[in-house]
Amino acid sequence: MMNGKRILLIIGGGIAAFRALDLIRRLRERGASVTPVLTPAAEHFVTPLSVSALAASKVYRDLFDLTDEAEMGHIELSRAADLVVVAPATANLMARMAHGLADDLAATLLLATDKPVMIVPAMNVKMWEHPATQRNLATLTGDGIRTVGPVEGAMACGEFGPGRMADVPDVVAAIDAFFLGGPLAGKHVLVTSGPTHEPIDPVRYIANRSSGAQGTALAAALRDLGARVTFVTGPADVPPPAGVDVRRVQTARDMLQAVQAALPADVAVMAAAVADWHVSNASGSKMKKDGSGAAPALAFAENPDILAWVSRAANRPSLVVGFAAETDNVLAHATAKRARKECDWIVANDVSPATGIMGGTENAITLITAEGAEDWPRLTKDETARRLALRIAEALA
């Protein structure tokens, strides 16, 4: 798939740098040529000799190497590739990219390039979650830079959480998808997924049984068709897919803010199972039994209607897809929801306990559009996602 493709690989300085060696090998197996660039910090984790041997290429390291400047200046090097990949992209390197610094060869190449850039972040979980890193990430994705990961996992430092570099096969798949293009190439798709958690007190919350599996599968299927995907997810049971821009939220109000920040988009696929209400008198400390046998009185307030807000937004996507999980009168309720929310399509399904759909691996949907209702067969959620992604691509063609 990558025959003849030229990749400029910038290796950042972190323990995940050793994965770049496997990435080079796999890219070359697929027919790509790899020109490696090492940051000074990266040389503490991998050697120029090992990188050069696997890449079968000269390793570039120094901005002020006069021989390199005579043979291939940094401007030419930055523009001689089809894709620039930064793996791993450390917090420091992301910060320098976001602020346009050019204080070493890697940063200068990233500032001078006119080619697409893909970053594969890897860092400590607290560094990844820090507001500064998230601001830098928002700047980079806003500039059109593609991201792959990070994923949750054990860190070399002993901590666990998001920040681990995406697995090499997932990085290769994202690069494959970039070169394949696809019917959604150049399109921005917003996908919401998972449940929301509405706090009762610091310990307890109101939620639903959504696993997030269908929304996650949709984000991956749309990515595979070439779309740039912003994935806004509540606390789901399944990890987010690689190669998408992940925005994690907890409550419905958090999700609305993340959705608003993600627009404009060409398509919005609102697959999240958003709680209809939140507890308006949530306690700031854990509620305790007082021995009287009386339960605390919870007051409820309606959550924002995210689907309706997107459908009526001034920068409304050209296609807005809602979801309706029902337990009775599925078609009637979903059809009414489509009209009430002013969205283009509704994906309806029966989530009665006997179906095993909510939290399961299969789905059976009815796609409701202006033209009518289509019953789809029971399929795996991955296959349902692929079919729906193709329908979205057809609608935008």
The pLDDT assigned to 362 comes to 86
CATH number at residue 110: 3.40.50.1950
Annotated binding site for CTP: 276, 286, 304-307, 323, 337, 341
- Please report, rounded to a whole number, the percentage of residues in the chain having pLDDT higher than 90: 63
Give me 391's structure tokens. Answer: 């329908």
Mean local confidence (pLDDT), 95-115: 92
Same-domain pairing of 364 and 235: yes
Q: Is the peptide bond before 88 cis (omega within 30 degrees of 0)?
A: yes
Same-domain pairing of 271 and 297: yes
Distances (CA, A) of 126 to 109, 129, 131, 341: 28, 5, 10, 39
pLDDT digits (tens, 9 = 90+) for 244-297: 889 999 999 999 999 999 999 999 999 999 999 999 999 999 999 888 888 889
Same-domain pairing of 219 and 253: yes
The pLDDT assigned to 25 comes to 96
Q: What would you report as the CA-atom Rg of the chain, rounded to the nearest whole angstrom?
A: 23
- Please report, rounded to a whole number, the percentage of residues in the chain having pLDDT higher than 70: 97
pLDDT digits (tens, 9 = 90+) for 192-226: 999 999 999 999 999 988 899 999 999 988 988 88
What is the Cα–Cα distance from 226 to 186, expressed in whole angstroms? Answer: 7
Q: Domain range spanning residue 353?
A: 188-396
Question: Of 180, 198, 225, which marks where a domain is finished?
Answer: 180
Is residue 71 a part of any domain in this protein? yes
The pLDDT assigned to 148 comes to 84
Is residue 111 a part of any domain in this protein? yes
pLDDT digits (tens, 9 = 90+) for 146-183: 888 887 777 777 777 788 898 898 888 888 878 877 78
Q: Is the pLDDT of residue 66 over 70?
A: no
The pLDDT assigned to 69 comes to 56
CATH number at residue 275: 3.40.50.10300
Band of residue 242 on the pLDDT scale cut at 50, 70, 90:
confident
Residue 70 and residue 64 in contact, taking contact as beta carbons nearer than 8 Å: no
Question: Of 180, 201, 223, which marks where a domain is finished?
Answer: 180
Same-domain pairing of 120 and 242: no
Same-domain pairing of 164 and 236: no
Same-domain pairing of 227 and 150: no
Q: Alpha-carbon torsion 7, 13, 17, 18, what sign?
A: positive
Residue 1 and residue 30 in contact, taking contact as beta carbons nearer than 8 Å: yes
Annotated binding site: 276, 286, 304-307, 323, 337, 341
- Average pLDDT value over all residues in the chain: 90
Band of residue 49 on the pLDDT scale cut at 50, 70, 90:
very high
Question: Of 129, 155, 180, which marks where a domain is finished?
Answer: 180
Q: Is the pLDDT of residue 41 over 60?
A: yes
Number of domains in the chain: 2
293 dihedral zone (left: phi>0; alpha: psi -120 to 50; beta): left
Is residue 116 a part of any domain in this protein? yes
Give me 324's structure tokens. Answer: 């309706």
Same-domain pairing of 165 and 206: no
Is residue 388 a part of any domain in this protein? yes
Q: Is the pLDDT of residue 243 over 80?
A: no
Is residue 1 a part of any domain in this protein? no
The pLDDT assigned to 383 comes to 85
Same-domain pairing of 109 and 226: no
Other Cβ atoms within 10 Å of 46 Cβ, number: 20
Mean local confidence (pLDDT), 46-67: 87
Q: Is the pLDDT of residue 12 over 80?
A: yes
What is the Cα–Cα distance from 380 to 214, expressed in whole angstroms? Answer: 9
Is residue 126 a part of any domain in this protein? yes
What is the Cα–Cα distance from 300 to 355, expressed in whole angstroms? Answer: 30
Q: Is the pTM of this model over 0.75?
A: no
Query: Which residues are CB-contacts of 104 (< 8 A; sequence separation ≥ 6)?
Result: 39, 40, 63
Q: Is the pLDDT of residue 68 over 70?
A: no
Same-domain pairing of 377 and 239: yes
Same-domain pairing of 50 and 192: no
Give me 182's structure tokens. Answer: 């696809």
The 3-state secondary structure of the chain, one letter per residue: CCCCCEEEEEECCCHHHHHHHHHHHHHHHCCCEEEEEECCHHHHCCCHHHHHHHHCCCCECCCCCHHHHHHCCHHHHHHCCCEEEEEEECHHHHHHHHCCCCCCHHHHHHHHCCCCEEEEECCCHHHHHCHHHHHHHHHHHHCCCEECCCEEEECCCCCEEEEECCCHHHHHHHHHHHHHCCCCCCCEEEEEECECCEECCCCCEECCCCCCHHHHHHHHHHHHCCCEEEEEECCCCCCCCCCCEEEECCCHHHHHHHHHHHCCCCEEEECCECCCEEECCCCCCCCCCCCCCCCCCCCEEECCCHHHHHHHCCCCCCEEEEEEEECCCHHHHHHHHHHHHCCCEEEEEECCHHHCCCCCCEECEEEEECCEEEECCCEEHHHHHHHHHHHHHHHHC
Same-domain pairing of 29 and 105: yes
The pLDDT assigned to 313 comes to 97
The pLDDT assigned to 67 comes to 61
Catalytic residue positions?
Answer: 157
Q: Give CA 32 to chain center in angstroms.
A: 25
Residue 366 and residue 349 in contact, taking contact as beta carbons nearer than 8 Å: yes
Same-domain pairing of 154 and 240: no
Is residue 262 a part of any domain in this protein? yes
Q: Is the pLDDT of residue 96 over 80?
A: yes
What is the Cα–Cα distance from 27 to 7, expressed in whole angstroms? Answer: 9
pLDDT digits (tens, 9 = 90+) for 326-363: 889 999 999 999 999 999 999 999 888 888 777 777 88
Is residue 117 a part of any domain in this protein? yes
Q: Is the pLDDT of residue 121 over 90?
A: yes
The pLDDT assigned to 114 comes to 87
Q: Is the pLDDT of residue 70 over 70?
A: no
What is the Cα–Cα distance from 190 to 262, expressed in whole angstroms? Answer: 7
Q: Is the pLDDT of residue 28 over 60?
A: yes
